[in-house]
Structures are given as structure tokens and as C-alpha cells.
Amino acid sequence: MRFLWTTLIVLAVHTLSAQNYDWNHLPVIQRPIFKNDTVDIKNYGAVAGGITLNTKAIDAAIRDCNSHGGRVVLIPAGLWLTGPIVLRSNVNLHIDRAAILQFTDDKDQYPIVAGNWEGHPAARCQSPISGTDLENIAITGGGIIDGNGDSWRWIAKDRLTESEWKHKVASGGVVTEDGKTWFPSAKSLKGFRTKDAGWLKPGMTPADFEDIRDFLRPNLLVLANCKKVLLDGTTFQNSPAWCLHTLLCEDLTVNDVHVRNPWNAANGDGIDVESCRRVLIANSTFDAGDDGICVKSGRDEEGRKRGRPTEEMIVRNNIVYRAHGGFVIGSEMSGGARNIFVSDCSFIGTDIGLRFKTVRGRGGIVEKIYVKNISMRNIVHQAVFLDMYYFAKPPSIADIYSGAVKEDIPPVSEATPIFRNIHISNIICDGAEEGIFVRGLPETNIRDIQLSDMVLKTDKGAEIIEAQNIGLKNIRLITADTSRPVVYVENSSDLHFDDIQYNAGADLLFSINGNKCANIHVASTDRSKAVHDAAFNYGATNDALK
């Protein structure tokens, strides 16, 4: 009997891990539950007004609630100055609608601790709000949490107005010799100029980094290895670095949250969900200095060794204003990402709309990604972007074909990233440099991508490079620059274009480039509207286009 029960448990676990999710069978995220008892931080000696440091009073309230099995800790109306806060299990930190929880700019209040930065173990100053190995925790309420990030971040002169720059310089800090960049202190500048600054390498401790303390900017909120987490209704703003960072968490709900970082905030990501399982981000608004809603899972060898993908994630009914990307996967995605569902979101003024990025050396598999019902406006670069050359520049096909450059193609290994099985549909974009950009690696093409039902009003149409089994169906490419090819294809095969609509009088419909182009099928498309139907270059032949 014992063997039978063990077998049944193993089978049940396997069944759950192999769950086939779809739009009708989405992941289920559990939410925390709290006692109704509420304690006010004023009862522990907290004083409003923005002068008294209330770190000890808030900590005492959190500890007391935790020791009594969990309660709600109330930050009442008022301006409350504090140092870093550490959450505890079964505690709901509730920020009153009329409350501002203001973190101090005194960097001595933030000890250097062992943490994680961009997928690497790293020394960081302690985050304003943090929690590790917790269960059943929340931050709720309509108030504001301000990280005082402008006292930590460096900034270039060309990202400020003249009066803003004068004000920044007059506030103190250090300006680089060329007069182009302001740093809050000499320690911050030294860290910026130090290679691998903050990386915790073997034999090093956080104490080894005191001389660059101010460079080790904390994320506003860091939750690591926590279960049943709720962020609901609160505004998180002005973070020193990333605003919200969840690492190795399970059952995370982010609802009606407002994230605000200045557009010029260095590393000012909205939310970074790293190696988490069962996640819901809904009804929230992001205005960020870097990526808006971002999925990560560790970087390079460390991420592969961790082996924890971000998975079973739902992103819906969100708005992203200025950000490097609206919804983003990567580039630190070495543990993989899968079973992610994104729907009914709006991106306004982001650099890129849907942004999936990686590079050689990352490894990791990004798959089973489903996106639908996305509206975009005034996108700076691409509406849909999948690129495996992030921060790298491939040689041009012209240089390779002429022999001017010999293409170095490394063997496939665990460090080779993979993008596959991605479905994107019902996308509207009014204004962008380019509609669709897909670029894989020659050793591992992006493959099995289905793009359908899109209206893209952009300068350029679509580029597909080093890709296999890509389908575009019912795509309307309204391009301002009709002198460029509507669709550019390079060294790609098994492409399926069905019902592609474009401007009448476009100079060239298809530009087919490279001797690896093959099995490019076109259906239900009026190819006579273009001045030229197709051109074949750099070894591509006419029979590549069916």
C-alpha cells in the first residue's frame, strides 16, 4: 500500500509539472490570507512629518504582528521617513491612501548585503523593502512608497534640461572630467569605473565593497524565495535601480499596482519577475526608465545551474507608458521561460512593444509564450521584436557573401539560447519604426513562431533573419517608406505568408537574401500591387519563393 501511495504521488506531481495550459486552461495563482486585526505604527512610536526616522518603530510593528500569527500593519495618513524595512511572514503592510512611505537618502542606513543583480550573485546595498524565505505576505493600500532613487542614480547631462542639470550639479556629487555625467558621490563614480563592480566572486564578502558602496544601488523591493505574495493598490516610485524584483517566488499576485520611475532612470525597470512560478500581473500601470514588465531567469552559467524558469504566468489588463519594452523576456533568461500568457495590454511610447531578447552564452529555452489583444501607439522602434543578438552585432550578409568577413558559427551547446513555440495575435500598432523584427542565430534559428491578425502602421514592414517555420497570417503592413521592401527575408526557410496586405505602389514586396532561403510560401496575397514582386540576392534563388 505504501508503494502504491508513493507511486500515485509521483504520478500526480508529474501530471502537474506537465500541465498543458492554454487560453481556456490558465494557471491558478493562490493569494495570501490575513487576519483582520490591524496595528498602527504610531502605537510603536512612529512619528510623521518626514523628519523622524521611523525604521525601528515600523520594524517593531512588523515583528509583533509576525509573532502573534500575522496581522495588518498600518502606515496611516502622513509622511513617514524610514530606513530599510524587512517583511515577515503573515504580515500585510498596508499603506493608507493618504500616506507616503519615504525612504531616507542617508546611504549609511543601507548596509551592504549579499544579493543578486542581473542574474549574478552580487553585493548590493540593502533594499528599502525586502523579504526572504517568507510565506503569506502583502503590501496593500493606495498610498505611495518612494525609494528616493534620484539620490542614488547617476545621470548624463544630455538626459536633463539645462536648468535640471544646473540644479543637479548644485546639489553636490561629482561630475566627470568631460563634464557629461553627474554621480552622487566619488564612491559611485569609482564603482562605475570598476570592472564587474559588486560581483560576489569566490572568497569575497559584502564588506569588500565599502569603497564603492554608493554604486551598489538597491532595488526598491526585493522578495526572494517567498510564497503567496500580494502587491495590491500601492504606488511604488523613484527606485534607485529596478523597482520591483521577485526572485524564486511562487504564487505572486500583482494587482492594481502603479510603478513610476523617471524615463531617464538608469536601470529603472518597472517589474522583474525572475525564476518565479505561478504569477499574475493584472490591472497595473508602469512608467519606467528601462523595461516595463520583464521576465528573467538568471544569467549565463549561474542561471543554467539554477535551472528555474519563470513559468505559469499571466499578464493582463496592464498599461505601460515610457519604457524600453512593454512586455519583455530576457536578456537574462538562462533558466528559461514557458507557459506565459499576455493579453489585453496597452503600450504607449515604449521603445519597443513586445521585446524578446537573448544572446550567445545565455542558453535557456523560451517557449510556449502566448500573446494576444495588444494595442500600441507611438512605439519608437519595433512593435514585435525577437532578437538573439542582444548587445552583439552580426556581420552583414553582404560582407559574408563577398568574402570580406568569414562568419564564425560556434557549435550548439548548453550556452546556446533557444526561442520557439511563440504565438502572437491581434496586435494593433499606430506608429513605430518597424512592424516585425525576428532574428535568430545561424547555429540555432528562431523557430515555430506564429504571428496573426495584426494592423501595423509603421515606417518599415517586417524583417525575418535566420528563422524557420515562421507563419504570418492576416498581417496588414501600412508602411510610410514604400522604397524599402515590405518583407525582408535573410537565410530563413519554411516561411508561410498568408493574406499579407500592404500599400499599393510599394517598390518591392519580398527581398529574399542568402542561400539558406527555401520553402517560402505565399498565399491569399495580391502580389501585383507592388512595383516589383520579389528580388533575390546573395545566393538566394527564384525557387525559394513558392
State the catalytic residues: 290, 324
Between CA 546 and CA 542 the distance in angstroms is 9
Cβ count within 10 A of residue 139? 29
364, 297 Cβ separation under 8 angstroms: yes
3 state SS of 352: strand
Q: Which among 438, 442, 446, 441 has a CA at the least distance from the CA of 463?
A: 438
**Amino acid identity of 43?**
N
Q: Which of 241, 257, 247, 334 is nearest to 291 (CA)?
A: 241
Are the C-beta atoms of residues 70 and 44 closer than 8 Å to each other? Answer: no
Cβ atoms of residues 420 and 367 within 8 Å: yes
Count of C-beta atoms within a 10 Å radius of residue 23: 10
From the number of C-beta atoms within 10 Å of its C-beta (0-12, 13-18, 19+), residue 308 rates as middle
CA dist list (Å): 499 to 386, 435, 474, 506: 22, 16, 5, 16
- Cβ(275)–Cβ(251) under 8 Å? no
Q: Are 454 and 423 in contact (CB under 8 A)?
A: no
Residue 216 CA to its chain's centroid (Å): 20
